[in-house]
Amino acid sequence: MQTDGVGANEESLRVLVVEDEMTMIRMVASVLRGLGINAIRVAMDGVEALALFDEEENAFDMVICDWLMPNMDGLEFLKHVRASDQAIPFLMLTGNVAEEAIREARDAGVSAYITKPYTADDLQTKIQLLAKR
């Protein structure tokens, strides 16, 4: 994995990671830290993420979210996020590559998605692209 990092402004990014698998949380956090991003909050499902998101207005600069999770999936969480914040970059992590699912995510306002399995380099590239927006 490259460690080019992100720009100085991006290093101050506050990222919400929504994922129910600890292995994936560790990998995403490792990639973020490798980019110099250390303000990372984690939620285990959409319900917990929504509570964090609503806790403080503009608390996050980016969301990285799994699609399939218990209680509230990533797509439903995305719809809640878009109801209050149209601009925040939202990266969806998914194993669902069906055209209909991808279209549904785009219609809901996903900024980008990455399909599983993916590498740390793939994730780093997507994060860097979103951070530059």
Strand order in the sheet with 39-43: 39-43, 14-18, 62-66, 90-94, 112-115
Neighbour count for residue 77 (Cβ, 10 Å):
29
Q: Is the pLDDT of residue 6 over 60?
A: no
Does residue 2 sit within a domain?
no
Q: What predicted TM-score, i.e. pTM, was given to this entire model?
A: 0.90
Q: What is the mean pLDDT of residues 60-74?
A: 94
Its domain, for residue 78, covers 10-131
Identify the pLDDT of residue 1. 40
Query: Taking every pair of C-alpha atoms in the chain, what is the biggest distance, in angstroms?
Result: 38
Query: CA–CA distance from 68 to each of 6, 31, 109, 119 (Å)?
Result: 28, 21, 17, 19
Does residue 33 sit within a domain?
yes
Tell me which H or E stretch contains 14.
strand 14-18
How many Cα atoms are found within 13 Å in the side-chain-facing hemisphere of 90? 27
> pLDDT tens digits, residue range 26-41?
999 999 999 999 999 9
Does residue 117 sit within a domain?
yes
- The encoded tokens of residue 55 equal 């806790």
Does residue 3 sit within a domain?
no
| Calpha distance 90→63 (Å, rounded) | 5
Where residue 8 falls among pLDDT bands split at 50, 70, 90? Answer: very low
How close are the terminal C-alpha atoms of the chain, in Å? 22
Whichever domain contains 21, its CATH number is 3.40.50.2300
Q: Is the pLDDT of residue 7 over 60?
A: no
Does residue 16 sit within a domain?
yes
Query: What's the chain's average pLDDT?
Result: 88
Does residue 39 sit within a domain?
yes
Identify the pLDDT of residue 10. 60
Does residue 46 sit within a domain?
yes
- Number of structural domains (the chain) is 1
Q: Is the pLDDT of residue 72 over 50?
A: yes
Closest to 91 (Cα-Cα) out of 22, 15, 33: 15
Q: What is the mean pLDDT of residues 115-123?
A: 90
